[in-house]
Structure 1
């Protein structure tokens, strides 16, 4: 207020001075008492008017520059507070103070926005938001991962994809609207209910496996012990001994099968540590190189970037990758042109694709192969893929069949870094 009053007095003083100078000049000319001096005074008043206009324009230009900087969110603007006139110093100090306050407010707003965006990135559900013009203003990584699409800029780029996903039972879509000042914001929540069902199914299998393991172990162990004891009796005939040995052998085989239950019901939580995924994949390639050469299989490994590091249980993840690679090799049995390739990529998340050119998996079997003890092989327990899926889920990721048809099968792993 003091600053404004000071400017008013300066302008008023200039106006009074201009009126006095021009009035005196006109009086001298009209009264014919001093035509030359009167003319000079009028000319002088014109210069005074020009000076006042220039001063006012300098204030206006400075204010216009200041407001343009605010509109452009430029906080680097600074007006000198030294070696200027008193009124300029006060004006510049006021503008610099306002600019500093706006800068602090903008910084606090940016921190708050960063906090909320980081918070949304930690939400397991996908979240998309767009304004009334259809412009996407926010999409967290979970949404992009669930929809398997790059960062969109407009809602119409997602409409067909969302309609297709809505028809799938794997994803649940929920939409709501909110008013933000005068703008209508639409928020879409995307939830993978397939993971929830898979978790519940896995928990049920774990409980069943735990119960069966306990009961079978308690039943089989005494039978093995008793058959061993009876077969050592001296007065027992050879036929009975042979029968007891068969009982013992079958019991031990059943006991070995029961051990498969332990892998599911007693799978430990991963011990996550930083390790080189690239080095692990290269070691697996070297490990299987002999078998691949013997079976005429071409093995290729592509990592983008060339060196990928991640946080996880190296031993468990190596077990998963080895199991998937052996499955691919079994799918190529009898072929002389077999190919297996691994594509590993690191962006915001880590994705690993294991691709083979085998005969593929029938569509009706693709949903069943992750069920414990389901197998299409003549030998095997059928827990490999189920165990692998559970390990990946413990790492916060997904193991799926991305594609399977004659000539191409792709197992896809998606995990956090």
Structure 2
């Protein structure tokens, strides 16, 4: 109710006093006319009206100043309140300011809460205005684009990828595009999604980016596995009986040839040729079965049995195992292991398989004209404190066109290679939540890097 308000009560009391004064003056006038009394009553009424007007003017001024302080958002001090003489009005100002401050603090807390969520969410988020000025650039985006330097405008990201910046600027609301970006030694497939926003009559664009490289690799590997399952199933069904029957037939011919008979339905020389042909069929069938079994290993990569391991001890044991073979090939193995590396959670047998495969690939990379054959194997911590293993050689290198395909199943640059070693290595590293990458210069050598 309005009458419970202290200010309203004060105004009502002053009006009642003024009305009482007028009523008293009326009674005096009805009893007779006295100049001094009338003058006194007029002065009393004038004083009351003046006090009332002055008080209302002061209140109006105080309210105006208070509203100006609200408009300028200067709520940090109580100077205007402390100078206010009217206790009721002062108390009302304090109540309103406290309510506004509480509301502002709650909104600020909510803003900081949601800002922290955006900053720490796993999806990269960037917002910028029409001039390219960046308002928000969260930690996930910085990590995805590997930008350690200050980013103020969206054009600064051209150092990472001009195509990416062009995508940011041209995508409209709901637009989506896949952009490949080279970040150091790693290739990242970034899924970019855009939304256009308007705030305070200003246009902004919100960009979300995700690295879907691992998902693409997994889907690609799954497609290869499905293909391999079909191929191996059909080929094995055909080859196995051929191998079995050819072996049985060859055995029957062998038993016939071992017996001395006066005559054969088939010439003896033809029987020998037939036996030799069946032997060839049997050998090639068995070779094809072994070949298919190797491919089948891609579809049955074992689940890693993780244990805390010291990578340097594993590398030392592998170097000891490979030392004899490398010496026979006149290859010098250089070990560069960083001390006091933290232990890592891996399946030792699977990781040994990967590193041995890399060393064998390096040992086969040297041409006949290479005079000094060197392989360097090293371990260290990278800039992100991840344990890293590197296998490097000074062999003939890999052609750029082949370099983009070496992790694809069945692709090989070797005459006798099956093309599954590096594919299997990549699959093993993926199951360890790690990464394998390669750099090569034709004629200078190749370097493989494992990151855990």
**TM-score bracket relative to the smaller structure:** 0.5 to 0.7
Q: What CA distance in whole angstroms lies between the structure 2 residues aligned with 1:113 and 1:127?
A: 11
Residue from 374, 380, 390 that aligns with 1:354: 390
Structure 2: distance between partners of 1:169 and 1:108? 34
Maintained 8 Å contact 2:354/2:425: yes
Task: Provide the residue aligned with 2:290 in structure 1.
Answer: 256
> Offset of 1:363 from its aligned partner?
0.9
Shift of 1:89: 10
Match of 2:148 among 138, 141, 150: 150
Q: How does 1:110-259 map to 2 (within 5 A)?
A: 110-119=112-121, 121=122, 123=123, 126-131=124-129, 132=131, 134-135=133-134, 137-141=136-140, 144-145=143-144, 147-150=145-148, 152-154=150-152, 155-163=154-162, 170=180, 171=189, 175-181=194-200, 183-190=202-209, 198-199=217-218, 201-233=220-252, 235-237=255-257, 239=272, 242-259=276-293
1:226-375 map, 5 Å: 226-233=245-252, 235-237=255-257, 239=272, 242-268=276-302, 270-271=303-304, 273=306, 275-276=307-308, 279-290=309-320, 291=322, 294=327, 295-302=331-338, 306-307=341-342, 309=344, 315-331=349-365, 335-345=372-382, 347=384, 350=386, 352=388, 354-359=390-395, 360-375=397-412
Higher-Rg structure is: 2
TM-score w.r.t. the length of structure 1 is 0.62
Which runs of 5 or more residues in structure 2 are unaligned?
11-61, 78-86, 168-177, 181-188, 259-271
1:193-213 deviation per Cα after TM superposition (whole angstroms, max 9, x unaligned) = 776765554343222211111
Relative to 1, partners in 2 of residues 1:199 and 1:94: Cα closer, same or farther, differing over 3 Å?
Answer: same
Task: Note the C-alpha offset of 1:315.
Answer: 4.9
Rate the CA distance shift 1:325–1:227 in 2: closer, same or farther, 3 A. same
Structure 1 residue ranges without an equivalent (≥5): 10-55, 72-84
Counterpart secondary structure, 1:218: helix
| Residues 70 and 356 of structure 1, relative CA distance in 2, 3 Å threshold | farther
What is the CA RMSD across the aligned residues, in angstroms? 4.8
Query: Deviations for 1:164-213, whole angstroms, at most 9, x for unmatched residues?
Result: 55799735655553224455433334466776765554343222211111
Cα offset, 1:367, TM superposition:
1.7
Change (3 A) 1:414 1:336: closer
- Counterparts of 2:304 and 2:108, CA distance in 1: 42
Q: 1:150 and 1:111 mapped to 2: Cα distance?
A: 25
**CA-to-aligned-CA distance 1:105-127 (integer Å, 9 cap, x gap):** 444443333334444x1x4xx54
Q: Quickly say closer, same or farther: Cα 1:248–1:179, change in 2 above 3 A.
A: same
Q: Distance in 2 between matches of 1:375 and 1:95?
A: 75
Pick closer, same or farther for the CA change 1:219–1:188 going to 2, 3 Å: same
What is the distance in 2 between the residues matched to 1:110 and 1:314? 45
Task: Please state how far the C-alpha of 1:158 moved relative to its aligned partner.
Answer: 0.9
Count of matched residue pairs: 342
